[in-house]
């Protein structure tokens, strides 16, 4: 999951067209900066969520919980995310 989040961030950075930024007016640039900041915060939140999940997995493994319990909980989280959208 962490790899997927990092890939999304690289893809977002790769989609930024520098030549188009040179031609934009100041207010357009401010809008674009605001959008990029929002995307950055979203990726940061995804990374934090992924780190939380990893920590939870590590704790479950340490406590000796079954792998099926871990995967079942992750499946429930994924289903909840799909329902929210």
Helix or strand run (H / E) with residue 15? none
For every residue of 48-68, DSSP letters joined together read HHHHHHHHHHHHHHHHT--HH
The pLDDT, as a whole number, for residue 1 is 64
Provide the mean pLDDT of the chain.
Answer: 76
How far is it, in rounded angstroms, from Cα 55 to Cα 38?
A: 26
Mean pLDDT of 19-41: 81
What global pTM score does this model have?
0.48
Asked whether the beta carbons of 82 and 75 are under 8 A apart, the reply is no
């Amino acid at each position: 999951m962490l790899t997927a989040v990092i890939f999304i961030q690289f893809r977002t950075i790769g989609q930024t067209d520098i030549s188009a930024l040179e031609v934009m007016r100041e207010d357009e640039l401010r809008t674009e900066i605001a959008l990029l900041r929002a995307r950055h915060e979203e990726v940061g939140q995804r990374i934090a969520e992924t780190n939380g999940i990893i920590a939870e997995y590590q704790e479950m493994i340490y406590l000796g919980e079954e792998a099926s319990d871990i995967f079942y909980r992750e499946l429930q989280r994924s289903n909840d995310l799909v329902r929210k959208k």
